[in-house]
């Protein structure tokens, strides 16, 4: 305690904050209680995944259904994973999902970063009209556009049942343009004016000066778009039908109808598809937080 | 700021505007047109005037879908309340708190189909919930959770809430961390207890986040599809008990080949969305004028 009282003498202003941080018996008890709350909430959050994993590992001697429920398999086996991989080309689904999500995440952020720059930093006729038109499209539910987009895919673009059909309609997002416009606005005008005085063209300014400055926002938007695209279901389920050409969520939904009674196999399929995106989330976690926090600042 | 006239700004905007034109603006115009036609996507549309809208008004399933979609909006206030609670709980310095924050986010990244299947397996007749309740003696015979019409929508809403709380709490956590510490100190000096502290400091401080989450989650609630699709095994539930606007649109357009009729449902969806957006904008403007004073 002596260093704390020293601190109070040296920095009287900080007394309040120090007092709160000093570990006291009461605080240890209260942090113990908080851990109980946190663990309880974590169990609620994780339990459905845990139950899936355990079901997928159950062997022939373990009941998938019993009263009371059996949590840990006594006879664990990977047989269910073998069955599901035999019936569905899950590695292919994975590659398809990856192609789609990388294209959509990467190109969407590029298109949005291009559109956001003039909206944030240039003055030109029609700027406000374009901006408000973009905002208006945010309100329109995407599902509203699916019937005409379906017709376009079949009759005009002829990409029905191919991956481009789930890439092209998702290459633009008014929401991403809006987020990146906020990022560009935080850059001082002097910097851009200085570059213009030095004779740099707008494209060069955009590419070599501005994009590196907003790299954290670009990463957050790209990662968000990647995950959204990875998990997208309704539109891909309308477009993709060839068994080898499905994305993971569409393939997973097919699994449900193929294995009505084989819960071990369904559980194995769900587990295989959830693990990669969870690993990805662990790696890029901080960008999620930044992206979500940044969305509200404006 | 550039003042000289040039085409440069438009070239930057061109890809985005072209894509929006093809994939958003054109489809909206087309869907308005289709809503006045008899259309099955394969054969050319035939103009039928207001027939689809007349049919809509007499269609009980449409009214079920509309009611269900509006009931589904109840997830928004529940999500806001629970997410703020969770944000307050995880907004403290504890060893390992980052791991808990990450855990709560897991359902949001796992994908609706995967978590829907996981939930289905919990609520199945032979699922975990029934076997637990049976072993505790709470029930004597298994409950048909997913085959009871009154329960279809509540279970789907529970799934949406469970998956969304961790996601939205990240937004509120960022908001809480922007509230100056001095405000809480002042509240304590004025004699506020913990509850009052959050009521009079956190809640007003989180206003921008609350507006944002209200808009985002209510737009998402009006568009709900995946949860219903998985939980009801693509049927919409017994007696259409779980059918929402988007589910009904999908069923008419892509299961029953009634794209013209489905377009009329789409117009109804657009109308509902616009009404709620205007409602949201009103709240947003009121919040801004309060902030300004």
Sequential pLDDT tens for chain B (293 residues): 445 568 899 999 999 999 999 999 999 999 999 999 999 988 999 999 999 999 999 999 999 999 999 999 999 999 999 999 999 999 988 888 989 999 999 999 999 999 999 999 899 888 889 999 998 988 888 899 998 999 999 999 999 999 999 999 999 998 998 888 888 889 888 888 888 888 888 898 898 889 889 988 999 999 999 999 999 988 898 889 999 999 999 999 999 999 999 999 999 999 999 998 888 777 766 765 554 43
Inter-residue contact B265 to B252 (CB < 8 Å) = yes
Contact yes or no for B113 and A253 at CB 8 A = yes
Residue A163: φ, ψ to 5°: -60, -35
Q: What is the per-residue pLDDT across B187-241, written as a single tens digit (0 to 9) for each? A: 888 888 888 888 888 898 898 889 889 988 999 999 999 999 999 988 898 889 9
Domain annotation covers residue B40: no
Q: Which CATH number fits domain A84-297: 1.10.3720.10, 1.10.1740.10, 1.10.1510.10, 3.40.190.10?
A: 1.10.3720.10
The pLDDT, as a whole number, for residue A14 is 39
Q: Which residue has the tokens 């399929």?
A: A269
- Interface size A-B, in CB pairs within 8 Å, comes to 270
- Cβ–Cβ contact A117 with B under 8 A: yes
CATH of the domain at B184: 1.10.3720.10
Q: What is the per-residue pLDDT across A162-221, written as a single tens digit (0 to 9) for each? A: 999 999 999 999 999 999 999 999 999 999 999 999 988 999 999 999 999 999 899 999
ipTM above 0.95, yes or no: no
- Measured in angstroms, the CA of A265 and the nearest CA of chain B are apart by 12
Nearest to B28 among A111, A144, A263 (CB): A144
Ordered by start, the domain boundaries in chain A are: 2-77, 84-297
Residues 6+ apart with CB under 8 A from B114: A249, A252, A270, A273, A274
Domain annotation covers residue B237: yes
Which residues of chain A neighbour B100 with C-beta distances below 8 Å? 38, 41-42
Q: What is the b/e burial string over B29-68, where b = at least 16 CB atoms within 10 angstroms of the residue's CB?
A: ebbeebbbbbbebeeebeebeeebeeebeebeebebbbeb
Give mean pLDDT, residues A103-113.
97
- Cβ–Cβ contact A240 with B under 8 A: no
Nearest to B174 among A17, A252, A292 (CB): A292
Domain annotation covers residue B136: no
| Separation between Cα atoms, residue A38 and residue B87, nearest integer Å | 11
Q: Which domain holds residue B253?
A: 60-114+148-292
State yes or no: pLDDT of A18 exceeds 50.
no
Domain annotation covers residue B67: yes
Domain annotation covers residue B198: yes
């Amino acid at each position: 305690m002596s260093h704390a009282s020293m601190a109070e003498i040296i920095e009287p202003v900080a007394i309040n904050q120090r007092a709160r941080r000093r570990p006291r018996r009461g605080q240890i008890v209260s942090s113990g209680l908080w851990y109980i709350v946190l663990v309880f909430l974590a169990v609620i959050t994780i339990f459905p995944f845990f139950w899936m994993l355990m079901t997928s590992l159950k062997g022939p001697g373990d009941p998938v259904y019993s009263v009371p429920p059996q949590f840990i398999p006594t006879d664990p086996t990977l047989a269910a994973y073998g069955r599901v991989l035999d019936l569905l080309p899950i590695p292919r689904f994975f590659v398809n999902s990856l192609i789609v999500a990388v294209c959509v995440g990467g190109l969407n952020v590029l298109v949005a970063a291009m559109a956001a720059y003039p909206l944030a930093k240039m003055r030109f006729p029609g700027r406000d009209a374009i901006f408000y038109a973009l905002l208006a499209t945010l309100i329109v539910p995407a599902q509203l556009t699916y019937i005409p987009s379906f017709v376009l895919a079949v009759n005009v673009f002829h990409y029905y049942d191919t991956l481009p059909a789930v890439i092209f309609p998702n290459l633009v997002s008014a929401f991403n343009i809006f987020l990146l416009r906020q990022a560009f606005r935080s850059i001082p005008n002097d910097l851009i004016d200085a570059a213009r005085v030095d004779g740099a063209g707008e494209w060069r300014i955009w590419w070599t000066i501005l994009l590196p400055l907003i790299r954290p926002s670009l990463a957050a938007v790209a990662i968000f778009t990647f995950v959204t695209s990875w998990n997208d279901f309704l539109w891909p389920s309308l477009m993709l039908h060839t068994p080898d050409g499905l994305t993971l969520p569409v393939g997973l939904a097919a699994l449900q109808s193929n294995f009505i009674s084989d819960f071990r196999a369904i559980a194995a399929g769900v587990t295989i598809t959830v693990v990669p995106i969870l690993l990805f989330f662990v790696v890029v976690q901080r960008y999620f937080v930044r992206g979500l926090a940044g969305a509200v600042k404006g | 700021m550039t003042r000289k006239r040039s085409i440069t700004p438009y070239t930057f905007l061109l890809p985005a505007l072209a894509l929006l034109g093809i994939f958003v603006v054109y489809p909206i115009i087309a869907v308005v047109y289709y809503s006045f036609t008899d259309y099955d996507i394969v054969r050319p549309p035939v103009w039928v005037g207001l027939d689809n809208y007349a049919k809509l008004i007499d269609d009980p399933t449409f009214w079920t879908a509309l009611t269900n979609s509006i009931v589904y909006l109840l997830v928004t206030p529940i999500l806001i309340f629970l997410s703020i609670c969770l944000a307050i709980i995880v907004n403290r310095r504890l060893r390992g708190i980052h791991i808990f924050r990450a855990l709560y986010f897991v359902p949001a990244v796992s994908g609706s189909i995967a978590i829907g299947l996981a939930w289905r397996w919990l609520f199945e007749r032979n699922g975990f919930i029934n076997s637990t309740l049976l072993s505790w003696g709470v029930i004597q015979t298994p409950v048909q959770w997913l085959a009871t019409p009154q329960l279809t929508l509540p279970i789907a809403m529970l799934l949406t809430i469970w998956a969304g709380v961790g996601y939205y709490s990240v937004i509120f956590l960022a908001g809480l961390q922007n509230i100056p510490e001095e405000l809480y100190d002042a509240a304590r000096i004025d004699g506020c207890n913990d509850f009052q502290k959050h009521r009079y400091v956190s809640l007003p401080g989180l206003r921008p986040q609350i507006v944002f989450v209200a808009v985002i989650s209510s737009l998402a609630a009006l568009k709900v599809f995946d949860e219903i699709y998985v939980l009801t095994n693509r049927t919409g539930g017994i007696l259409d008990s779980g059918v929402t606007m988007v589910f009904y649109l999908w069923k008419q357009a892509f299961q029953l080949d009634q794209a013209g009729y489905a377009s009329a449902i789409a117009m109804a969806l657009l109308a509902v969305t616009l009404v709620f957006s205007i409602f949201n904008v009103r709240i947003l403007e009121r919040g801004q004028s309060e902030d300004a004073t």
